[in-house]
Amino acid sequence: MPAPLSSAPPSGIALFDLDGTLIAWDCQLLFRHFMVRHARWRGVFLPFFLLLLPFSGLLGTARMKRVFLSYLWRITPEQLANHSQDFAQAIRPQIYPALQKEIDRHRAAGHFLILSSASPECYVTAIGRALGFDLSLGTPVETGAFFPILHNHKGAEKVVRLLDRLPPSYFDGGRLRKAHGYSDSCADLPMLALCESVTVVNPSSKLTAHAVRAGWEIVRPARPWKSRAGFIVRVLALLAGVGRDPGRAA
């Protein structure tokens, strides 16, 4: 069970998404690459995912995530925890410098730091510890079966989890007290609605339009790919476990 949080409301709250916000990539790609490089036989599960990819709209995000995570078949919780710790240290250099400064600024101000991600919680919590977050929440994943069991921590589910984990004193009028939210995705709009102020990172045109209407800050840190073709090549390398670190900045 997680340790209880102090009921005293913090002086401020900083609420960060992870994938596409603190780093350019979806951490699920990076972690797959990390695991396949450590155990090449785990790469054989990729065809199952690719075969079902055209049906992703029908199957839904949560089911496709279970298929994608089939490479974790039969891994023990202890092994997964150890790999997650190593992974968290390995990707620290990929944090956007501008976002690292924001984390440091909030920490120096004594704000309560929350990392909230749809990525598997096993490594989200490890990344949160490495970066000094006070609370880290991700998708709980139960490994062992060919398709891991999970409860997708995405969209409105992030709000449900925050309401469950944070003391009532952290909220005022249905919003987090003195909170600043950071995200790159429209999927996080329910979570960002809890915040007094918001920064969006490399937003899509739809999120950009929303941010402009709402008066939110927009930042566009440089991504580690130069073109759409370069992005696709790197994604394929990450999926296949090819190369030492194709996710890193060139």
Q: What CATH number did the domain enclosing 119 receive?
A: 3.40.50.1000
Tens digit of each residue's pLDDT (9 = 90 or more) over 29-44: 999 999 999 999 999 9
Residue 21 lies in a domain: yes
Question: Residue 213 pLDDT more than 90?
Answer: yes
Closest CA to 13 of 197, 225, 221: 197
Residue 69 lies in a domain: yes
Q: DSSP alpha helices (H): ranges in 27-76?
A: 27-38, 46-52, 56-59, 61-68
Asked whether 103 and 113 are in contact (CB, 8 A), the reply is: yes
Residue 138 lies in a domain: yes
Residue 182 lies in a domain: yes
Residue 51 lies in a domain: yes
Quote the pLDDT of residue 247: 86
Residue 206 lies in a domain: yes
Q: What percent of the chain has pLDDT over 90?
A: 92
Question: Residue 138 pLDDT more than 70?
Answer: yes
Tokens of 16: 């960060």
- What domain range is 50 assigned to? 13-240
Cα 153 to Cα 69: distance, rounded to the nearest angstrom: 15
* pLDDT-based confidence at residue 52 (cuts at 50, 70, 90): very high
Task: Please state the domain count of the chain.
Answer: 1
Quote the pLDDT of residue 245: 85
Residue 3 lies in a domain: no
Cα 194 to Cα 191: distance, rounded to the nearest angstrom: 6
Asked whether 118 and 127 are in contact (CB, 8 A), the reply is: no
Span 54-63, mean pLDDT?
A: 93
What does DSSP say about strands 175-176 and 179-183: parallel, antiparallel, or unpaired? unpaired
Quote the pLDDT of residue 155: 96
Question: Residue 111 pLDDT more than 90?
Answer: yes
Residue 42, classed as helix, strand or coil, is helix
The set of residues, in sequence order, having a beta carbon less than 8 Å from that of 108 and lying 6+ positions away, is: none
Long-range pairs for 83-88: beta carbons < 8 A, 24 or more residues apart: 83/34, 83/35, 83/38, 83/123, 84/122, 84/123, 84/125, 84/126, 85/126, 86/34, 87/30, 87/31, 87/34, 87/123, 87/126, 87/127, 88/123, 88/126, 88/127, 88/129, 88/130
Q: Mean pLDDT in the chain?
A: 95
What does DSSP say about strands 217-219 and 197-201: parallel, antiparallel, or unpaired? parallel
Residue 2 lies in a domain: no
